[in-house]
Structure 1
């Protein structure tokens, strides 16, 4: 009985098995190929190009299709030449022409650098583009796109008579997975163009990131305001992000802008990352999902944390109540594309912790309806400029379609919440808190009234003549 194998390997070579006297069978050939072609995990975790296509399971969700397509500008080859993006193509040529006219020698140096890197750059994209562009065409495209990115990072795009909406759409498009420039090309061009050290170049990325992921304004209590005034410290030193500083990021291994953003706002400190589940573990999972309002009923409150790192969620229990600390999130037109493209990057890169995907699914578990969004807004965790509370709830439902979280992510948080939720005595106290507090207030009032009456009686009695001043003859014997 013969078995047909669909996986084919290279032709059988006698030199591969010189000790074998018999001829190489089809099965031997296939088994040898499996052994020789396998790569160790520590050598390479990547199964595709550095700048991959968005996986098909992401694109097949109808409500999310537009989240992976550029609206106004293309970067790189995947969406190059689309008719709806022609306006920005003309602007790219205009900006490059102005730069060449002003800084001819630097422009020539930058173009030669792109020519040197063209082989590396071509290898960063999917194979189907191999014959679409020759080296000259590819170099020109990389030069124009790179110069456009530098103009944007340098804040000069706003001077090109673009509407605010167009600038916002450009910012959105630069954080799409399929719309990336190889970071090696971008960083080389920045060094030649601006002639400054890398740490100063990174400040330009920081400025763009501030617009992409800004912390919503938070209401402060009187105590917090007074404390900050007394400390006389700048607010920037008080509210510190736990994300890596520019000096901590290994720029030499960054592939593109999406990955740089991921390192800064998704990956967190090693000592706390273990709490989020850095490996897939199917033995434990959070089978019960509780919305914001369900958790609120059992005494769990929601507070914004002073961090920009998306997955840095903490649960802090008290004797009776509990507090879920969640990083603030601004929600606008670019939030959904940003989170979904980060999730797509996570899927393609082999980032096994699944932190961003798990974070989005965790937020979806909290947000079931508009009332949950309303509560998070009132607590300063969400700032929305996009539709109603019900529409925001629907947005999270759409984002999590086909997303598979790491079951062990946020395990410490989930266990803490679940333990609080299932605590019988805490539930009993909360269920009877109203009558208990009423009784305490009632009997405290009666007790206070009785004590006050006794004190008033004694005070009045002391004022009467003869009290404490006895005139009987034996008084001296009684009080020597």
Structure 2
């Protein structure tokens, strides 16, 4: 029996299969360490798709470009403008900061589509969506017109509940490191200092 097992173990396809299984296991483990934003399985979504689809704003790559969410894109760019103006840093400073961690950011997403493997396109999305989120979270409404449909006090009252639901959706997120890196760069602090300031 031992001799038979040894003979089987020496077959080329058995050796190749063992290599594949080992490499797949190691690959999956390294991927799973990075991933923090996941796709909801279609079978789960089909039960009630509205629960898993944002109603007002897309964040990150999964729902970007969805027709019903396109109206919010203009507001995101206005938020980016105010964010940049407030700190008076060129956008290149933020791009450089996120470029250093772009592989980790891409690795945060489960099943990232090929179109988002373009580093330039992906970084643009992270900066626009990240700055928009910081503006929402920090509620820096004083930089906006009092009649602004999103960033005024009235705009916040009208949209905040739907926006908060969208922000919490599992497929509709940006990695936390995007926010901490943008904030650290804006305020001249380290990412660790920003993380510590977020702890209760």
Equivalenced residues, count: 182
Q: In the alignment, does 2:70 pair up with 1:95?
A: no
**SS state of the match for residue 98, structure 1?**
helix
Q: Partner residue of 1:198?
A: 194
- What corresponds to 1:180 in structure 2? 173
- Provide closer, same or farther for how the CA distance between residues 123 and 45 of structure 1 changes in structure 2, counting only shifts above 3 A: closer
Task: Indicate conservation of the 8 Å contact 2:60/2:173, yes or no.
Answer: yes
Name the structure, 1 or 2, with higher relative contact order (CA <8 Å, separation 6+).
2
Change (3 A) 1:167 1:138: same
Q: Which whole-Å CA distance do the structure 2 matches of 1:151 and 1:36 have between them?
A: 43
Task: Report the CA distance shift for 1:102/1:150 in structure 2 as closer, same or farther (over 3 A).
Answer: same
- Counterpart of 1:115? 99
Match of 2:120 in 1: 136
Q: Map 1:146-185 onto structure 2 (within 5 A).
A: 146-156=130-140, 158-159=151-152, 161-162=154-155, 164-185=157-178
- 1:46 paired residue number: 32
Pick closer, same or farther for the CA change 1:140–1:55 going to 2, 3 Å. Answer: same
Instruction: Tell me how large the CA RMSD over aligned residues is.
Output: 3.3
Larger radius of gyration: 1
1:117–1:185: 8 Å Cα contact kept in structure 2? no
Q: 1:36 to 1:152 in 2, by over 3 A?
A: closer
Equivalence for 2:20: 33
**Aligned with 1:55 (options 41, 58, 67):** 41
For 2:24 and 2:123, the matched residues in 1 are separated by 33
| Structure richer in helix, relative to its length | 2
1:290-305 to structure 2, matched below 5 A, reads none
Aligned to 2:3: none
- CA shift at 1:153, angstroms? 1.4
The DSSP-based 3-state class of the residue aligned with 1:162 is: helix
Counterpart of 1:74 in structure 2 is 58
CA shift, 1:139, in A, is 1.1
Q: What SS does structure 1 have at the residue aligned with 2:69?
A: helix
Q: Which has the higher strand share?
A: 1
Unaligned runs of 5+ in 2: 1-6, 142-150
Q: 1:143 to 1:38 in 2, by over 3 A?
A: closer
1:119 Cα deviation from its structure 2 partner: 2.2
What is the CA-CA distance between 1:113 and the residue it aligns to?
0.8
- Tell me, in whole angstroms, the C-alpha distance in 2 between the residues paired with 1:83 and 1:120: 29
Q: Deviation string for 1:329-368 (max 9, x for gaps)?
A: xxxxxxxxxxxxxxxxxxxxxxxxxxxxxxxxxxxxxxxx
Task: List 4+ stretches of structure 1 deviating above 4 A.
Answer: none
Question: In 2, Cα distance between the equivalents of 1:111 and 1:48?
Answer: 21
SS in 1 for 2:16: helix
User: C-alpha distance in 1, partners of 2:10/2:68?
Assistant: 60
Q: Residue 146 of structure 1 aligns to a residue in which SS?
A: helix
Instruction: Indicate whether 1:125 and 2:109 are aligned.
Output: yes
Number of the residue aligned with 1:241: none
Q: TM-score, normalised by structure 1?
A: 0.34
Question: How big is the shift at 1:141?
Answer: 0.9
